[in-house]
Amino acid sequence: MDLSDDLTAIDPLNIEGELLKQAQKFSYYSGLYENAKKDCEILEIGLTQCQASARIKGQEECEAKGTRPTVAVLDGYINSDESCNKITLNLADTKYKLGLLKSLMQSLSHKKDMLVQLSANQRTEKGIYS
């Protein structure tokens, strides 16, 4: 919560300075977002490969026992595979971080809109009192 408060705080006495820093902040968090997105995609690929391996292993074990590998049985192999479970947990954590970064970027976008409006208001006030 502190991070989002720090990022979205506006110093009304320094709107120009806030505007100057805005693009840099957005760019930084956009880069973090893209990295997290890449990490998610890599984990999803790894999970698909792990599930395929577990499915193949389950199918081979069923055939060795002389039983028919049903979808439910193969899903059981996938769900009990420790590697797949580990990747699933890492993927959930990475998706959580991705969501947080997306929210921060949206907040920064809203902040930009507010700064632009505040800057316009200040210019208008200066024109009225000049």
Q: What is the pTM of this model?
A: 0.80
How many C-beta atoms lie closer than 10 Å to residue 94's C-beta?
19
What integer pLDDT is reported at residue 63 of this predicted model?
93
Domain boundaries, the chain: 27-129
Q: Of 60, 54, 61, 59, which Cα lies nearest the Cα of 80?
A: 54
pLDDT for 14-40, tens place per residue? Answer: 888 988 999 999 999 999 999 999 999
pLDDT for 96-122, tens place per residue? Answer: 999 999 999 999 999 999 999 998 888
CA distance 127 to 80: 70
